[in-house]
């Protein structure tokens, strides 16, 4: 129960903050440009708290459902643009209505929400750079026999310092750069015995999208070297019967070195009903255990143990200077923007399955996990979600900011406003699309939750 409450609180803080940033962008620009704002709401549904601005013009609301928000401006809705409604307004209000403003003012208000999300991400990433990140160093811990990495001359103990001309400071950063080079030639600069070497590697095309695979391990054949340890053993399971204990570090399975959890699991799955020899390190002693994996409903092996991994070379904290941190904020935000656009486009073309789309439950889980890990990780999470909000709201879908910008572009081309009826119909279609997307994402969340 405590974990659920913690995750829920982290989710509410994250979503409320990012929505407030987005809506404040619309609000602040609209007010500065003289447009009358009637309501500023964080969340939907019944109001939990509400109060008026000092000039009594704006109603501020914190609502019960923290999954969105809005800024209500005078003359914004199509039904307010009818001739009869407009005639009931005072002369001053008619001048301040959203729909009578020049196109550039309305476009500025529409773009301000996503723009504030990007600015927030830039600042958050700057803070992450200055505060320092705990990173996995780019030290090679294992090179698979006959792999691209081995054939290129990569050796255990090499430290990768650059990928195709870009300096790298963490395994994650290196992996992201390698993903962008799949299907191309790339040069890895490595440090070995205080010498610098350039190794050329061909990253072959893959059936799966690079975003969905571990390129260093699955394409090139090298890993950071991970210690795979036993976190828990199920009572009366094959692992328990063989004598496997919590805290054991798995060294080898059927004579092959174990370098990551997935590799070990694949070996177990492939040997259902066959005795597997597992070498473990217990304290300072090496033990060989014979384990007979049980066969599950999919005819795959299971031994009833929960595993985890940690870097054999440990982690290090990487902090940036003032200037480097500022650069990192802009560069990282741009990289995440390009990545998000790429994921959206690949989902539309089915290059990546839409099943990977996450909804509120997935976001809540990530919020809880990153909040547990510390402020730096939570800031990185907030920056990533802020970028996603910025990109999503710029999509050319009616009811989103991008849809409004399309409307304004059409109005500029036509030389006159679009009809309220057209706006109403297209906004209904856009709303239906957004609701369908949210339902699908929520369905994905529930499917993953019940699959475990």
Active site residues: 23
The CB density around residue 6, as the number of other CB atoms within 10 Å, is 14
**Angle between the N-to-C axes of helices 322-348 and 103-131, in degrees from 0 to 180, rounded to the nearest 10:** 120
**Residue-wise burial string across 318-328, b where 16 or more C-beta atoms lie within 10 A, e elsewhere:** eebeeeebbeb
The closest of 181, 263, 169 to 215, measured between CA atoms, is 181
137 backbone dihedrals φ, ψ, rounded to 5°: -65, 160
What sign does the dihedral 330-335-340-342 (CA atoms) show? positive
Q: CA 168, 170, 173, 178: dihedral to nearest 10 degrees? A: 70
Q: Say which residue the tokens 């809705």 belong to.
A: 77
Q: How far apart are CA 162 and CA 436, in angstroms?
A: 43
The CB density around residue 358, as the number of other CB atoms within 10 Å, is 16
């Amino acid at each position: 129960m405590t974990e659920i409450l913690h995750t829920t609180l982290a989710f509410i803080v994250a979503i409320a903050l990012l929505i407030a940033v987005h809506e404040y962008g619309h609000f602040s620009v609209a007010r500065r440009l003289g447009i009358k704002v009637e309501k500023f709401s964080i969340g939907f549904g019944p109001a939990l708290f509400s109060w008026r601005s000092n000039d009594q013009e704006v109603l501020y609301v914190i609502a019960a459902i923290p999954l969105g928000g809005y800024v209500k401006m005078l003359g914004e809705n199509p039904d307010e643009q009818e001739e009869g409604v407009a005639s009931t307004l005072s002369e001053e209000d008619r001048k301040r209505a959203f729909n009578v403003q020049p196109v550039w003012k309305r476009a500025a208000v529409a773009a301000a929400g996503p723009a504030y999300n990007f600015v927030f991400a830039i600042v958050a990433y700057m803070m992450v750079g200055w505060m320092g990140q705990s990173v996995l160093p780019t030290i090679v811990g294992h090179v698979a026999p006959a792999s691209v990495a081995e054939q290129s001359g990569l050796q255990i103990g090499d430290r990768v310092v650059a990928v195709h001309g870009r300096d790298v400071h963490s395994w994650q950063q290196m992996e992201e750069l390698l993903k962008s080079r799949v299907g191309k030639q790339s040069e890895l600069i490595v440090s070995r015995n205080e010498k610098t070497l350039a190794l050329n590697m061909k990253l072959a095309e893959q059936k799966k999208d690079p975003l969905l695979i571990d390129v260093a391990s699955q394409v090139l054949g090298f890993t950071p070297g991970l210690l795979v340890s036993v976190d828990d053993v199920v009572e009366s399971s094959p692992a328990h019967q063989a004598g496997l204990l919590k805290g054991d570090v798995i060294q080898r399975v059927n004579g092959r070195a174990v370098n990551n959890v997935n590799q070990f699991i694949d070996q177990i799955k492939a040997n259902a009903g066959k005795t597997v020899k597992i070498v473990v390190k217990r304290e300072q002693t090496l033990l060989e255990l014979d384990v007979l994996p049980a066969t599950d409903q999919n005819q795959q092996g299971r031994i009833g143990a929960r595993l985890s991994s940690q870097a054999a070379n440990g982690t290090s904290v990487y902090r940036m200077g003032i200037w480097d941190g500022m650069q990192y904020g802009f560069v990282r935000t741009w990289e995440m923007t390009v990545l998000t656009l790429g994921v959206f486009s690949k989902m539309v073309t089915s290059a990546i399955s839409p099943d990977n789309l996450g909804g509120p439950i997935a976001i809540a889980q990530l919020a809880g996990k990153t909040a547990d890990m510390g402020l730096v990780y939570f800031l990185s999470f907030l920056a990533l979600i802020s970028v996603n909000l910025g990109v999503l709201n710029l999509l050319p879908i009616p009811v989103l900011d991008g849809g409004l910008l399309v409307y304004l572009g059409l109005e500029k081309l036509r030389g006159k406003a679009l009809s309220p009826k057209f706006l109403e119909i297209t906004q209904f279609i856009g709303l239906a699309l957004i609701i369908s997307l949210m339902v699908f994402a929520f369905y994905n969340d529930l499917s993953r939750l019940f699959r475990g």
